[in-house]
DNA sequence: CGGCGCATGTAACTTGTTACATGATTCC
DNA sequence: GGAATCATGTAACAAGTTACATGCGCCG
């Protein structure tokens, strides 16, 4: 059974439903907007765009007014939109996560207590910062919303980041407390 | 820069600190105990065990009393323990997560509301079940604890699963509520 | 005109999964 | 005796990252 087809193509098709984009722009959007739940590299994006074009799910787009060459934008085709919808309806595969931090915590008996605490603190700090970014992004969103966009969806995805991020931070604080108690015992 | 070395070897070394194990047993432990934050396949484990043995970080272990052949257990060497400790102290790399569910939610404008709700419900159910498993595992732990084991560490890792799992479930419920409101509007 | 950011792409590599081959042992 | 599970391993493939090559256009 070939369970997994790469999801890169559907990410691309999804983004193209909002308008034509180049490979470079796709990478930008993913890095900036999706960073907390997705990632893609150029090595994935460019070949996949070429495949999509070859299979007729996307096609090169030439702007009317703009004679800007050197920017190869693609737009989605009807067949591409069908393929996207089909995939959207398929059940979500079990997500595979790998938390190096938890591995290190699990085996931290081999280590001075301070070293583990440092790992946890770094994790806590990173996610506190991320929560701050979420907060700012949410405000930004409230100011620019207008009907017809996918605002509600964006907010629900954002809420995921916020809820999970908060759980990370709370957990960090609880664990740091326990590590301290343990050190004093 | 070659940032990432595979972490499989450190997982193995970590498990071997608690006693000799075979490849098959390692897979079992990871599947049962680590499933919510780690995964490994035989295709990773067996070759890595061979490499560890070749590099002198682990070695084949022959049980004294047991003449059970067909079971190739490995034990960690001093050099292996050093390598593990060294890795444990290195900063944790940024975890890469990919949530297909969020991708589908993000693009769900292309889809009937019911289809998205089904995805969320499946996610909610899966994590509710997982929380139930956590609860049972925690009880089991309380009954079998004794000094010298890595009980505190196990509990802290478990707490992560519980906190994050709860966040997943809460988020699901909030999103389902929003989807319903949206459908009625 | 030099450097930086924009932009496209690819080749080499690493990582990881899956499917298969093979055989022993256990339990019904 | 047949099914399930224990057990080890590998080969083929899929997925994904990184580093590099290349060149344009703009700004100071």
Could you tell me the two tokens for A109?
A: 């008996």
What does the alpha-carbon distance between residue A127 and residue B171 come to, in Å, rounded to a whole number? 18
Average pLDDT on A66-85 reads 85
DSSP string, chain B: ---PPPSHHHHHHHHHTTS-EEHHHHHHHHHHHSTTT----HHHHHHHHHHHHHTTSEEEE--SS----S--EEEE-HHHHHHHHHHHHSPPPPPP---HHHHHHHTGGGS-HHHHHHHHHHHHHHHHHHHHHHHHHHHHHHHH--TTSSHHHHHHHHHHHHHHHHHHHHHHHHHHHHHHHHHH-
CA distance A48 to chain B (A): 17
CA distances to A123, A124, A143, A183 from A117, rounded to whole Å, are 10, 10, 40, 11
Contact A15, A26 (CB under 8 A): yes
| pLDDT(B3) > 80 | no
Compute the mean pLDDT over every residue in chain A, rounded to the nearest whole number: 91
Please tell me whether any atom of strand C lies within 7 Å of the Cβ of A163. no
Cα distance between the two ends of chain B: 53
What does the alpha-carbon distance between residue A50 and residue A45 come to, in Å, rounded to a whole number? 9
Tell me, yes or no, if A38 comes closer than 8 A to chain B by beta carbon.
yes
**Which of B11, B100, B167 has its CB closest to that of A93?**
B100
Residue window 144-163, chain A: list those with CB within 8 Å of chain B.
150, 152-154, 156-157, 159-160, 163
Nucleotide with smallest C1' distance to residue A98 CA:
C16
A9-59 pLDDT, tens digit each = 999 999 999 999 999 999 999 999 999 999 999 999 999 999 999 999 999
Q: Which bases of strand D sit closer than 7 A to a protein CB?
A: 6-12, 14-20, 23-25
Average pLDDT on B102-126 reads 96
pLDDT score at A69: 57
The continuous run of DSSP H or E covering A139 comes out as helix A113-144
The continuous run of DSSP H or E covering A60 comes out as strand A58-61
Give the three-state DSSP class for B44: helix
pLDDT score at B158: 97
Could you tell me the two tokens for B160?
A: 């992560």
Residues of chain B with pLDDT > 90: what percent?
A: 81
Question: What's the pLDDT band for B37 if we cut at 50, 70, 90?
Answer: very high
Tell me, yes or no, if A33 comes closer than 8 A to chain B by beta carbon.
no
- Choose, out of A171, A179, A180, the residue to mutate when testing the contact with B (most B CBs < 10 Å): A171
Of the candidates A68, A61, A169, the one whose C-alpha atom is nearest the C-alpha of residue A123 is A169
Contact A101, B38 (CB under 8 A): no
Contact A77, A58 (CB under 8 A): yes
Contacts of A94 (CB under 8 A, 6+ apart): B126
pLDDT score at B45: 97
Write down the pTM of the prediction.
Answer: 0.93
A137 neighbourhood in chain B, CB within 8 Å? none
User: Is B85 in contact with A174 (Cβ distance < 8 A)?
Assistant: no
User: Is B99 in contact with A160 (Cβ distance < 8 A)?
Assistant: yes
A132-162 pLDDT, tens digit each = 999 999 998 888 877 678 899 999 999 999 9
Compute the mean pLDDT over every residue in chain B, rounded to the nearest whole number: 92
């Amino acid at each position: 059974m070939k369970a997994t087809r790469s999801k890169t193509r559907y990410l691309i098709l999804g983004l193209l439903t909002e308008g034509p984009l180049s490979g470079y722009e796709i990478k930008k959007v993913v890095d900036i907007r999706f960073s907390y739940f997705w990632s893609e590299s150029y090595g994935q994006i460019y070949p996949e765009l070429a495949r999509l074009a070859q299979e007729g799910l996307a096609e090169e787009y030439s702007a009317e007014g703009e004679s800007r060459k050197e920017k190869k934008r693609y737009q989605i085709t009807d067949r591409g939109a069908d393929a996207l919808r089909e995939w959207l309806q398929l059940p979500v595969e079990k997500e595979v996560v790998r938390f190096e931090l938890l591995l290190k915590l699990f085996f931290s008996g081999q280590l001075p207590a301070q070293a583990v605490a440092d790992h946890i603190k770094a994790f806590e700090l990173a996610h506190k910062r991320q929560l701050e970014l979420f907060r700012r992004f949410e405000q930004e969103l409230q100011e620019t919303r207008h009907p017809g966009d996918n605002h509600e969806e964006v907010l629900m995805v954002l809420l995921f980041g916020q809820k999970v991020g908060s759980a990370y931070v709370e957990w960090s604080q609880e664990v740091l407390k326990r590590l301290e108690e343990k050190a004093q015992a």
